[in-house]
Structure 1
Amino acid sequence: MKTMTRLLAALSAAALTLSLTACGGADSAASGSTAESTATAENASATHIYVLTAAEDHGWTGSVATFAKEKVEELNAAGPYTAEVITSASASEQITKVEDILAQGTENIAIVIQPMDDTVQSAIQQVIDAEVPYVAFDRIIDSVSASAVSNVKGDNTGIGAGSAAYFVSLGMQPGDKVYVYEGDTSSVTTLRNQGFTDYLTGKLEFDGAAIDPALQWTEEDLASITYSGAMNWSRSTTKESFESLMGDSANTDIRWIYAEDDELSMGVFEALAGGGIDEATKEAFLANAPAITGCGGLGEMYDVIRGESYADIASRFSGVCSVTYSPAMIQTAIQDMVDYLDGKPVEQDHVIACENVVADNVEEYPSF
């Protein structure tokens, strides 16, 4: 009898071990996980949340995984849900990892995904077909967005509006020369351009307020805005572009520089600090007390705003601003999934409003 009892106990323990392994997701080394599940017997049947992001390497995109891991650690410590972060270096790798997750079983799982690009649509459609709840973050793929629990994104038009509002607050007048450093050729850049001009023409508000009608721009005024073309979010490309721009002395009177990312703004500061622009040209440009905006929350840009970096150059500017578009928004996306699993209402089109970060409030905002 004792032998039979021991055998039944051993079989029960083995069954429990198999159950926990199934609920805990793929092995970290095999799946690319950056945070392991902490499933226990008490929550073995609770939903496991897979958070799929780009690789944690550098820049805004890489920082998404860093903030995701912070939130995942919090969830694993608090329960009842377990979670892990799975990173990918390419869209094809991300598609494979989604397929691997689904192949392990689709019960008691949920997915939060930052799609690498629009080709990930095929994998997301598989998630939808498997009736697995998912939240999309940052890159929203329109063809599948209606099936998401929530589509969490920053306000790209708000970035443009915030930059325009900042310039107007510093005295920008209709028809003033503006130079826009564009990110790429995607809808992100289109929306950031649109937000800038829509604010100036009175079509869009920022922070609950519209432009003073006396300062509104006409369509003819908008012709004074020059667009750089795609910088591909590259600091070095922007640096070279600004050096070339300043190679024509007629451009030294440009006062308003709207950079659509903090990396692009830093390219301008690096150009002004380097040797690619002659000193007389730099002096002519800085004598006009230019202003510059970026966005994203880059720590180096916040250091400039604080006056701790490029201080001799930045002090000659009438203003330096970064509009919020933080990679920490991934934590909101994860929380939306938790709220959904808890049975709470979740906003499907979840746009996170922008705010302008300047010297007076920079300490209130996290950077990366």
Structure 2
Amino acid sequence: MTRNHNISRRAFIAGTGGAVLTAFLAGCGASNSGTSDSSDSSNAASGGKKIYVLTPSEDHGWTGSVATFAKEKIADVNKEGKYTAELQTADSASKQISEVEDILAGDTSQIAGIVIQPMDDTLQSAIQSIVDAGIPYVAFDRIIEAVASTAVSNVKGDNEGIGAGSASYFVDNGMKPGDKVYVYEGDTSSVTTLRDKGFTEFVTGKLDFDGKKIDDASKWSDSDTASISKSGAMNWSRSDTKAAFESLMSDDSNADIKWFYAEDDELAMGILEALNGGGISDATKEKIFATKPYITGCGGLDEYYEVIRGNSYQDIVKNLGGVMSVTYSPSMIQTAIQDLIDHLDGKQVTQDHVIKCENVTKDNVDKFQSFK
């Protein structure tokens, strides 16, 4: 998603992260659980050909919120009346493939287009069947590279930007070349690969964030990046990250790590829960807090934004250097739907539509929309 978290994400996932595809496909980039749900509750009696929007189930976290934001946009489309829009959700890739097959089995002359957030890469053949039927489509979040060139638009968050944003935040707060960094990764998808890459390429000066590159004095050499450690796939899971952080800190020689880059807000919450729980000794916690560590996430999870806002986990946050998130909002699905409508209306759209991400801190968090 997470999310894409790649991611990304996703990513995203994340990178989406964005979120979480139970967590993220994202973002915030994984597969969603829960029962299948096909909903046309927002399908008003309106004229025009039909637009189908296909997402994972409206369940929870980043991915579930994609469907929620899709409903808002679908209601607007149906109110306008030029097209009839319908949301269909699925709890598995096989269910989503069946949805595509059922749509194409009907009268395709009445289909204006399809917006799809693929559950995973097994949707490649189903997407190719959309192309073969001559139906325009927009891909959202998880982009399947083998068919990406056939899409009207591939809408996704900036998974590399998520890594670069976290690295930029760390550097702004004093991270030096060769400092210990621990990365909590989302999964094994391209979302995570891109979120990893963005962090490394920012600190080595190959990538900018928000129009700025790292200054020469703070730039890392390739050998400096050996101090960046990675968790392996946390499956966009808060509980997995909590357990992994507790395990990491069972060796108190790791208590001096100052920079924790979590590739999704759920993973950041896992770190906070570990610090708030009883799985780490008080003596080790004292050593951790003595370093005043920093934690970053991404996605827009309201629970984590509440931490950034100063409304929760403040007994922990007061012992930290700072907490931050990078945007990778599930509301991007609305951009994907609009890209399809713009294409249908004869307007120019960007095929590789990467949505810029921003750093969310205590100073600007009130400017950003979160999701439950």
TM-score w.r.t. structure 1 length?
Answer: 0.89
State yes or no: 1:84 paired with 2:86: yes
1:169-180 pair list within 5 angstroms: 169-180=172-183
State yes or no: 1:72 paired with 2:74: yes
Identity among equivalent positions (%) equals 67
Q: 1:182 matched to which residue of 2? A: 185
- My pick for the range that moved more, 188-197 or 313-322, is 313-322
Q: 2:145 matched to which residue of 1? A: 142
Q: 1:365 matched to which residue of 2? A: 368
The amino acid across from 1:59 in the alignment is G
Measure the CA separation in 2 of the matches of 1:318 and 1:31: 43
1:278-293 pair list within 5 angstroms: 278-293=281-296
Structure 1 residue matching 2:63: 3-state secondary structure: helix
CA positional deviation for 1:32:
1.4
Structure 2 residue matching 1:173: 3-state secondary structure: coil
> Which sections of structure 1, spanning at least 5 residues, go unmatched?
1-29
The amino acid across from 2:106 in the alignment is Q
Structure 2 residue matching 1:107: 3-state secondary structure: helix
Measure the CA separation in 2 of the matches of 1:266 and 1:232: 14
Quick check: 1:34–1:87 contact (8 Å CA) kept in 2?
no
Measure the CA separation in 1 of the matches of 2:282 and 2:350: 53
Measure the CA separation in 2 of the matches of 1:34 and 1:182: 36
Task: Kindly tell me the number of residue pairs found equivalent between the two proteins.
Answer: 335
Structure 1 residue matching 2:231: 3-state secondary structure: strand
2:328 to 325, 328, 331: 325
Quick check: 1:320–1:358 contact (8 Å CA) kept in 2?
yes
Measure the CA separation in 2 of the matches of 1:34 and 1:210: 46
Structure 1 residue matching 2:108: 3-state secondary structure: coil
Measure the CA separation in 1 of the matches of 2:336 and 2:311: 33
- My pick for the range that moved more, 275-284 or 263-272, is 275-284
Q: 2:136 matched to which residue of 1? A: 133
CA positional deviation for 1:34:
4.1
**CA deviation string 1:210-256 (max 9, x = no partner):** 00011000011101111111111110010011111111111111000
Q: 2:251 matched to which residue of 1? A: 248
Q: With CA pairs under 8 Å and 6+ residues apart, which has the higher RCO, 1 or 2? A: 2
1:39 to 41, 45, 68: 45
The amino acid across from 1:63 in the alignment is S
CA positional deviation for 1:315:
1.8
Q: Cα RMSD (Å) of the superposition?
A: 1.1
Measure the CA separation in 2 of the matches of 1:363 and 1:71: 23
CA positional deviation for 1:316:
1.6
Quick check: 1:68–1:85 contact (8 Å CA) kept in 2?
yes
Query: Between Structure 1 and Structure 2, which shows a larger proportion of helix residues?
Result: 1
Measure the CA separation in 1 of the matches of 2:329 and 2:52: 21
CA positional deviation for 1:36:
4.3
Give the greater-gyration-radius structure (CA): 1
**CA deviation string 1:25-81 (max 9, x = no partner):** xxxxx98124342234xx2xx221100000011111111101100110111112211
Q: 2:3 matched to which residue of 1? A: none
The amino acid across from 2:176 in the alignment is Q
1:303 to 301, 306, 317: 306
**CA deviation string 1:123-175 (max 9, x = no partner):** 11110000001000001011111111100001110000000000000000001
The amino acid across from 1:252 in the alignment is A
The amino acid across from 1:322 in the alignment is S
